[in-house]
Amino acid sequence: MAAIDATLAAQNAVVAAESLGLGTVYIGALRNKPQEVAQILKLPPHVVAVFGLCVGYADPNVNVAIKPRLPQSVVLHRETYQLSEQDEGISLYNQVMKDFYESQQMNVPGDWAEHSSKRVASAESLSGRQQLRQILNNLGFELR
């Protein structure tokens, strides 16, 4: 429940910051090295960083855009999961993301769906997160 509470609090902080003209960026990569992050932040036992949150003013000289999100038809389902509607939405989103990556001069091989699949395809592709259970045990969480 604490991870959900932290996420909701961060979302409210983001809304407040953006209402003041500040920009924000979540840093989920903290979960790649939770033990090292805990040491750097001098966290006590039974505490783990769920994500980071950067808040500040954007550099007006840097061309940035907000990453497009999946269409609602892909992520919202009523009563049952509807794969057929999702296929069309994902195809469209692959093109939207290709255009976005090009506009941001990001070199992302393959389409979005392929890129996303590769991020979870094997233990090695999890960027250290495959060890999360053992690391959380080391930080004092008694997971079974």
The model's pLDDT over 108-136, given as tens digits with 9 standing for 90+, comes to 888 888 888 887 888 777 777 778 888 88
In a domain, 140, yes or no: no
Q: How confident is the model at residue 60 (pLDDT cuts 50, 70, 90)?
A: confident
**Both 4 and 28 in a single domain?**
yes
Distances (CA, A) of 63 to 27, 72, 102: 20, 27, 12
Q: How confident is the model at residue 84 (pLDDT cuts 50, 70, 90)?
A: low
**Both 38 and 72 in a single domain?**
no
In a domain, 142, yes or no: no
What residues are paired with 78 via a beta bridge?
none
**Both 55 and 75 in a single domain?**
no
Residue 134 neighbours by CB distance under 10 Å? 11
* Share of residues in the chain with pLDDT > 90 (%): 40
Q: Count structural domains, the chain.
A: 2
Q: Give the residue numbers spanning the domain of 94.
A: 65-126
pLDDT at 8 over 90: yes
Domain boundary among 62, 81, 114: 62
Is the entire prediction scored with pTM above 0.75? no
pLDDT at 144 over 80: no
Domain boundary among 62, 82, 114: 62
